[in-house]
Amino acid sequence: MRHARRRIVRRVTRLAAVGGLLLGGTMVTQAAMATETPATSATPRAAPESVVTNPGAALVKKLGTARTAGTWLDDEGRPVVAVTDDESAATVRKAGARPKLVDHSMNELKSAAATLRSAPTVPGTAWVTDYRTNEVIVQADSTVSASDWASLTKTATGIGSYVRMERTAGKFTTRLNGAQPILSTGGRCSAGFNVTNGTNDFILTAGHCGPTGSTWFADNTAQQQVGETVQQSFPVNDFSLVQYASGKAGDGADVVAIGNGNGVRITGTGDAAVGQRVFRSGSTTGLKDGQVTGLDATVNYPEGTVSGLIETNVCAEPGDSGGPMFSEGVALGITSGGSGDCTTGGTTFFQPVTRALAQLGVTLIVSAPADGQGGGAAASGGPQPSLSPTQAAIAPGSTSPGSTTPVTGVGGTSLAARLTDPNAIGPGLLVIGGSLVALVATRYFRAEQDRRAYRDYYSATWG
């Protein structure tokens, strides 16, 4: 009778242990799945959403460059349009924007820039049209000699009083590295935005990072290959395409990293507006912000001249090149170069994203914008821009980088990491451990009893 009770106890213990293993496994799986970051819905679009960053641009286009001289956003985010006559001012005022009478039209300002371009190139110089002061600002860094400065000043004086000369600290250089580092034998750069041609996915980054054929890695031991540069434009422009080795960007392709495992979802593209608050991400200095101070800037780098750039007062340092510039989740530019640093401040130039996409024949990989975010009309076939509030037509100080989300595929948590996280799955692991101990114990006791029974039988037979 006693042996029968022991067998019943062992069987019940084994059944309970097996049940504990099943229960513990279920607990571990549920805990792991609960800590998994939801996948972002990244959808390549035939035509990414084009966001209107300054409604005043529609008025400039309507009135023409002979009667206007640019548009910008004031401190409250309202559009201002520079006009050359009272009739144009009345049109702007009627449309709901604020006019500003100026002496020189955009045609005159562009003519001044063309004259500067035709002069002998001086590395270390740059110029940009300042819409708010109605001037063309010519800058020269510390590498420009006194004789070259005098020659450039003579050219500027010949154009007119609306060309202003400035000396700037530091020197104009391209900025290597960036938000998510990619490395090659030519240096270290940054992944800017993910783009696609419908068949393959690419990284859009700075053109000065490396020539066509450059192979890029995610580590400095050249073990994790990212891809290869298949198209490059530098100088003149500053953009290139790095085709992913796998052909696809993977999960989180619509997110740009901003540090601490976080990123910003990109929902569309836009053209930067003077006065707009913008954000830049880079591996050297992280997330920084500032304002757009000029458009269509020309920079004479030591490696060559690049035109059509966005000028900002966002700081950057060597190591930030190729990184993304954005605002409210809208892709605006990729870091080209500049002067100064993030201790004393400086000037940074960006390659406009819209121009790069058009010339490369690719589209941005974006996520669907959340309700109430990133309004704007489609680039073609949609409604024309209006003077209603848009993504940038709000107080610049209230602007954010965009919708923040954990970075997946780069800084996300893998399933293996979740399965080894005792904080998330501790109870389940304890149940599994206890069940295994119970199974081993019942097996040990059964084996010990069998040995004793055999010993007793052997003794009775041969004793």
Catalytic residues: 208, 238, 321
Integer angstrom CA distances of residue 121 from 114, 132, 172, 291, 386: 12, 27, 14, 28, 41
| Spatial distance between the Cα atoms of 84 and 320, rounded to a whole number of angstroms | 40
Residue pair 389/399 in contact (Cβ under 8 Å)? The answer is: no
Instruction: Pull the structure tokens for residue 72.
Output: 């910008």
Residue pair 104/83 in contact (Cβ under 8 Å)? The answer is: no
Element (H, E) at 145: none
Torsion sign, CA atoms 330, 336, 342, 347? negative
Bridge partners for 248 per DSSP = none
Residue 264 phi, psi (nearest 5) = -120, 130
**DSSP assignment of 418-451:** HHT-HHHHHHHHHHHHHHHHHHHHHHHHHHHHHH
| Spatial distance between the Cα atoms of 26 and 112, rounded to a whole number of angstroms | 72
**3-state SS assignment for residue 420:** coil
Neighbouring residues of 445: CB distance < 8 A, sequence distance ≥ 6: 10
Q: Which of 358, 355, 310, 360 is nearest to 335 (CA)?
A: 310
Largest CA distance in the chain: 127
Torsion sign, CA atoms 448, 452, 453, 457? positive
Bridge partners for 313 per DSSP = none
| Spatial distance between the Cα atoms of 363 and 378, rounded to a whole number of angstroms | 13
